[in-house]
A and B are shown apart, each in its own frame.
Chain A
Amino acid sequence: MQTKETIVCRCEDITLEEIKSLIDQGYRTIDEIKRVIRAGMGPCQGRTCRMLIAQELAKYYGIPVGEVLMPTFRPTVRPVKLGTFAGGE
């Protein structure tokens, strides 16, 4: 696979090569990778990249995907305007 051109996190433009490089450097979980490179911090909150990164970690450590630690799923489910919460709209 073309790791340089394969986008893993579409919100933040993170490639597979960047993810693999962090895993090689010893970043062991989705949480750690997210905080260093912003994968999963965009508007979709990791809906796509979370599982793709989980697959890469599972492959690297030889464990089932189900054993990869998931990050906390945080509100909001989708982006909502501050004005809506303030009761103005």
Chain B
Amino acid sequence: MKKSANVVIIGGGITGCATAYELAVRGVKDIVVIEKQYLSSGATGRCGAGVRQQWGTETNAILARDSVKRFEGMNEELEYDRDIEFKQGGYLMVSYTQNEWNQYKKNVAIQHSLGIPTKMITPQEALEIVPHLNIKGLIGATFCQSDGHANPFHVVDAYYKAASRLGVKFETYTSVTGITREKGKVTSVQTSKGDIAASMVINACGYAAGTICKMVGFELPLYPQRHQALVTEPVEPCQGPMVISLHHRLYCQQTPHGSFIMGVGDPNEPKDFNINSSWEFLEDVARQATTVLPLLKNLRVVRQWSGLYDMSPDANPILDEVPDAKGMWVAAGFSGHGFMVAPQTAVLLAQKILGQNCFMPIERFGLERFSGGELLLESAVV
């Protein structure tokens, strides 16, 4: 392994790999990505593979909107030899309570102000988009056709290959054991394969970002939260959009492969690093999914898994330099939607680090908002 680097990126998920690419494509040499297991082994590879622009905060909506544009041309831009499987079948966000519907109206107003073409539709119109939707008690739905699905493994693989061609080195199955500071600046990273001298370190470790920050004595306001998902056998295409019902805590989509991926959030999930699968989840998700989409009762589950959201206090990411550890940047706290915003998160971070003009104000994602500043408070998280 190299003894020194210009930039060490910790974390081989979507954020780490995309940031490595965006820095390399802007001319940065000598970048090393350190990953404890294999690429996309953390939250990225465990996510629901959805890409949506229908957010309730301007910050999330801008990152997602501009990332959709990147996903649209990603196979070509990254010269990927496989397919990232970007399918724009839309997101249908169904509302069964008046409170939820009122919130959706506010969210859509924000989305429209940013040029995101979300439509507010009636239950009958929702039925035309998803014929097997249960519209009993449905008040309305919001639909955005350009939302959709991308394959997280292939997106990471595409960034990995493109970054590798630009000279980025990836060290998988390598753990970070410590970080050294001198006079308030980062100087080196200790790993299970030796030390790397570096004056810039990017902490893109998702739920483990707090552990890395503790190595420089900083408490990051993040907590891990388990979320479980399952996938079914593949069937003929029959559902265009991802269906989200916040009321049922459910998301459910059919992938281009034909399988259905779905999950439910558990309001009683403790703050913990546990990533075991549970049978309680199977019963819960099966009940919710077959209530909202009754046809799915005949589909067979082939696999379940779980992963960890890196929850920030307002469900918006943290993109900032660590106080008292200059040169160490955090890109974490994505709260369950890091995959879909990663293409533009990586651009924003690269622009900031290199002193270029940022396409949106990065200060809005700063740490100061947790110590007296204004929280961003995202409402639309499953």
Which residue numbers of A lie inside 8 Å of B, CB to CB? Answer: 28-29, 31-32, 35-36, 38, 41-43, 45, 72, 74-76, 79-89
Give A36's nearest chain B residue, CB to CB.
Answer: B157
Contact check, A83 vs B305: say whether CB atoms are below 8 A apart: no
**Which A residues lie within 8 Å of B232 (CB)?**
82
On whether A79 and B305 interact (CB within 8 A), knowing A31-B41, A36-B154, A85-B286, the answer reads no
Q: List 27 A-B contacts (CB under 8 A).
A: A35-B40, A35-B153, A36-B82, A43-B233, A43-B300, A43-B302, A45-B303, A74-B277, A74-B303, A75-B282, A75-B303, A75-B304, A76-B302, A76-B304, A79-B233, A80-B300, A80-B301, A82-B286, A82-B298, A82-B299, A83-B290, A83-B298, A85-B301, A86-B283, A86-B286, A87-B286, A88-B297
Contact check, B279 vs A75: say whether CB atoms are below 8 A apart: yes
How far is it, in angstroms, between the C-alpha of A25 and the C-alpha of B153 when the chains are bound? Answer: 16
Min Cβ gap B83→A in Å is 12
Residue from B153, B233, B296 within 8 A of A36 (CB atoms)? B153
Min Cβ gap A86→B in Å is 4
Contact check, A41 vs B286: say whether CB atoms are below 8 A apart: no
Identify whether the interface residues of B are mostly helix, strand, loop, or mixed.
mixed
B210 in the interface, Cβ–Cβ < 8 Å? no
Min Cβ gap A42→B in Å is 7
Contact check, A82 vs B297: say whether CB atoms are below 8 A apart: yes
Min Cβ gap A84→B in Å is 8
Identify which of A31, A43, A75, A76 gathers the most chain B CB atoms within 10 Å of its CB: A75
Min Cβ gap B231→A in Å is 8
Min Cβ gap A68→B in Å is 13
Contact check, B233 vs A82: say whether CB atoms are below 8 A apart: no
How far is it, in angstroms, between the C-alpha of A80 and the C-alpha of B297 when the chains are bound? Answer: 10
Contact check, A82 vs B154: say whether CB atoms are below 8 A apart: no
B317 in the interface, Cβ–Cβ < 8 Å? no
Contact check, B290 vs A76: say whether CB atoms are below 8 A apart: no
Min Cβ gap B171→A in Å is 12
B202 in the interface, Cβ–Cβ < 8 Å? no
On whether A74 and B298 interact (CB within 8 A), knowing A31-B38, A83-B290, A86-B290, the answer reads no
Give B45's nearest chain A residue, CB to CB.
Answer: A35
**Which B residues lie within 8 Å of A35 (CB)?**
38, 40, 45, 153, 157
**Which A residues lie within 8 Å of B283 (CB)?**
85-87
B124 in the interface, Cβ–Cβ < 8 Å? no
How far is it, in angstroms, between the C-alpha of A12 and the C-alpha of B61 when the chains are bound? Answer: 36
How far is it, in angstroms, between the C-alpha of A37 and the C-alpha of B172 when the chains are bound? Answer: 19
Give B259's nearest chain A residue, CB to CB.
Answer: A41
Min Cβ gap B308→A in Å is 14
How far is it, in angstroms, between the C-alpha of A20 and the C-alpha of B298 when the chains are bound? Answer: 37
Contact check, A74 vs B290: say whether CB atoms are below 8 A apart: no
Contact check, A32 vs B38: say whether CB atoms are below 8 A apart: yes
How far is it, in angstroms, between the C-alpha of A75 and the C-alpha of B38 when the chains are bound? Answer: 21
How far is it, in angstroms, between the C-alpha of A43 and the C-alpha of B285 when the chains are bound? Answer: 19
Contact check, A87 vs B287: say whether CB atoms are below 8 A apart: yes
**Which A residues lie within 8 Å of B233 (CB)?**
43, 79
Contact check, A82 vs B45: say whether CB atoms are below 8 A apart: no
B39 in the interface, Cβ–Cβ < 8 Å? yes
How far is it, in angstroms, between the C-alpha of A36 and the C-alpha of B84 when the chains are bound? Answer: 11
B289 in the interface, Cβ–Cβ < 8 Å? yes
Contact check, B282 vs A42: say whether CB atoms are below 8 A apart: no
Give A40's nearest chain B residue, CB to CB.
Answer: B303
Min Cβ gap A23→B in Å is 14
Within 8 A of A (CB), among B101-154: 153-154
Identify which of A32, A36, A85 gathers the most chain B CB atoms within 10 Å of its CB: A85
**Which B residues lie within 8 Å of A88 (CB)?**
290, 297
Contact check, A86 vs B300: say whether CB atoms are below 8 A apart: no
Min Cβ gap A63→B in Å is 14
